[in-house]
Amino acid sequence: MKSKFRHVALIGKYQTLASGASSASARRVLEDIAHFLHAQGCEVVFEHDTARNMGIVGYPVMDVSAIGAKCDLGLVVGGDGTMLGIGRLLAKFGVPLIGINQGRLGFITDIPLEGYAAALAPMLRGEYEEDHRGMMHARVMRDGRCVYDALAMNDVVVNRAATSGMVELRVEVDGHFVANQRADGLIIATPTGSTAYSLSAGGPLLHPSIPGWVLVPIAPHTLSNRPIVLANITEIAIEIISGRDASASFDTQSLASLLHGDRIVVTRSEHNVRFLHPRGWSYFDTLRQKLHWNEGVA
């Protein structure tokens, strides 16, 4: 049976790899996957930065906009960071993504590199589970002007510099004052991001089907300041009241230095990221495997 997906884009790690065995090995992996896709009847293109950084030649190359316009599937080889980066860029085009895990945890790149062909072949024939993940749209407002604009699939984090003291943050939800919080920082996480920084800061796990976000303080001065789950239709505003060298990060990949009086305004993005998983995939299977919940059970 021929592949349901005619035009497939291969995306790997964006950063330039060091020369040597690691670079050559990564290139061989991508070329092997390209050969496999071709054997399944797919026309394969490489994302521009992937081809350039890996030294891959002999295949058509496209930038993200062209992939969004012409490809009906993106195959991401790497870790969750790679998937987050391309997911934000391709969300507005509605291109579905499959992740082959070449990183560590792999919460959203869930197909192991070893034996990827066995999992991928039926998916290319249309046997898969589809999973939609929402994103946040964040703006940094200064004196009534937007000075920074970003999307986040995992989280928006406002925090202090490594060498400075606590920051004081004014938090509002839909224009209603919530609290002034003194802490090392504050995390707004999506359900996807609830297994990332939010989890290490004591936040709860949110199932991907929940239309909500979690607001998690980082090392708060007041111990009664606890995580809270909010509907993702709300607007969250965080204002910098005091503290030196505060910054905001968006999926840890975009940074903006903040001044007193700056407001980080977070709303729901109009776009979702489409993930495809192998037939029978379960979010709970992923949690059990990645968080080692069954260790020590006879």
Q: Could you list the active site residues?
A: 80
Q: State whether residue 176 is helix, strand or coil.
A: strand
Query: Which of 139-152 are b and which e, b meaning 16 or more Cβ less than 10 Å from the residue's Cβ?
Result: bbbeeeeeebebbb
- CB-CB neighbours of 181 under 10 Å: 22
Q: Using N-to-C axis directions, what is the helix angle for 21-39 and 116-124, rounded to 10°?
A: 40
- CB-CB neighbours of 60 under 10 Å: 13
Burial class (CB in 10 A: 0-12, 13-18, 19+), 98: buried
User: In angstroms, rounded to a whole number, what is the distance separating the alpha carbons of residues 16 and 14?
Assistant: 6
Partner residues linked to 186 by β-bridges: 158, 217
Task: Pull the structure tokens for residue 185.
Answer: 């920082």
Q: Which residue has the tokens 């936040």?
A: 203
User: In angstroms, rounded to a whole number, what is the distance separating the alpha carbons of residues 98 and 36?
Assistant: 15
Find the Cα–Cα–Cα–Cα dihedral 285, 287, 288, 290, rounded to 10°.
110
- In the chain, DSSP finds a helix count (H) and a strand count (E) of 7, 18
Find the Cα–Cα–Cα–Cα dihedral 246, 251, 254, 256, rounded to 10°.
-20
Q: State whether residue 21 is helix, strand or coil.
A: helix
Q: What φ, ψ does residue 175 adopt, rounded to 5°?
A: 85, -5
